Structure formats: C-alpha cells, structure tokens
Amino acid sequence: MRHSTTALLLGATMLAAPAAWAETVYNVAKVTIVGSKTVPTDKLYAVVQEHPGQKVTVNDIIADRDAISKVLEDAHVGGAVKPSVKTTGTKSEIIFSIEDQGVQAPIVTKVAPKLDAEIFDGNVSIPTDKLAAASGLSPGDDLSNEKITAAEAAIMATYKAAKLPVSVSINGENKVVGNGKVDVLWHITETKAKAKKKKASGEDEGQKLDQ
C-alpha cells in the first residue's frame, strides 16, 4: 500500500505555489487536530468546515486553518496551526498540528488621554480665563501626570504673583468623559489671610516701665 504525506506550505511560499497544485482536490477520509493543550479540541473541530466524504481544495484547508487560529487567538493562546495532508490511495486525512504555547498575556497599548476641558471652581480673586492661560493646557492636549502637576504649580504661581490677601489650596481631579478624553477639574479654596494684630502703644510703654 502506498502512503504519502504532503505538507501545505503557508505564507509567501503558498502564494508562489503552482495554481494546479492549489486547485488539487482531496477526498476527505478523516480530519485530525493534534497538539492543543489549552483549548478543548471539540471547540476546534466545531469550526472546521470539511468532513469525511467531502472533496476539498488547498484553499478550503487554509480557510479551516484560519478558523482554528481565530479560536486560539480569542482564547489568547500563543503558537501556530500547521495543516498537512496524508494521502492513502484516493483518500486523504487532513491534519491540523497545533503548536500550543499556552495562554499569553494580552498586549496592552496605553494611549495618553486627551484634555477635553479645564473646569475651575472656588476661584474668586482671579478670573478663570487667566488661570486657564496660566496652566498651559489646551483642549486636545495629551495629558500626563507630569503635565497636570506642572499646570497646578503654574496656577499656584499665578496666585503668589498676584500678592492677594488670601491663602490658597488647589486640588486637581480628572473626570473621564469618554472617547479617550478627560476633563481636569481644579477645586480652589481661597481663605482670607488674618490681619496681624498690632500692639497698642500704651502696652509697649507699660512693658518698658516694668523693666
């Protein structure tokens, strides 16, 4: 009895394969999936479209390889799916060999949030537009902790430069508004500075007399 195994070349090699070979028809006797350690094979068989008794081409086999790969990808399983055909006489076994590297940690790409708007409250002594200009932030800017810290320092510096009779505290808060945008809320507390109590002239003289 004659046995032969034909490996299906993928990627760029597949594109270079003769058209006649790509259109070869295989009489499916059996479909086998081996090597899956993470995803149950019944879930993989469920997406395979070829079954015993059918006639398939290389394109059909590649389509099933991609379907199996998608199931593994959705389960975050690393590795690859390599199809091959084992032909005995006029019947062929379609084999999908899986290189199962187990569940891989998803790759998280961090995107800097963008400023939608600055909102000030509690600022009585200095107008909002002046504080907004001082912060150095503009709608659409990429935000970072460093930029927000610098903006808060700039707002505080504006108050100090104004030499107002108030003490000031600033509390910044970020509010996510969707679509990767954030509002920065500046909560400002202004407290009137207490006037220093001057000693009466009589008190000073009395102290001197007692000495």
Q: Where are the domains of the chain?
A: 3-103, 114-192
Query: What confidence tens digit (pLDDT) does each residue in 98-126 have?
Result: 999 999 877 676 788 999 999 999 999 99
Query: What confidence tens digit (pLDDT) does each residue in 180-201 have?
Result: 899 999 999 999 877 666 555 5
pTM of the model: 0.47
Looking at residue 131, its pLDDT comes to 96
> Burial code of 125-137, b = ≥16 C-beta within 10 A, e = fewer?
ebeeeebbebbeb
Looking at residue 110, its pLDDT comes to 75
* Structure tokens given for 100: 């199962």
| Radius of gyration for the chain, computed over Cα atoms and rounded to the nearest angstrom | 37
CATH of domain 3-103: 3.10.20.310
Using pLDDT thresholds of 50, 70 and 90, give the confidence band for residue 23: confident
Phi, psi for residue 160 in degrees, rounded to 5: -65, -40
CATH of domain 114-192: 3.10.20.310
Same fold for the pair 3-103 and 114-192: yes
* Structure tokens given for 56: 């398939």
Element (H, E) at 79: strand 77-88
Using pLDDT thresholds of 50, 70 and 90, give the confidence band for residue 71: very high
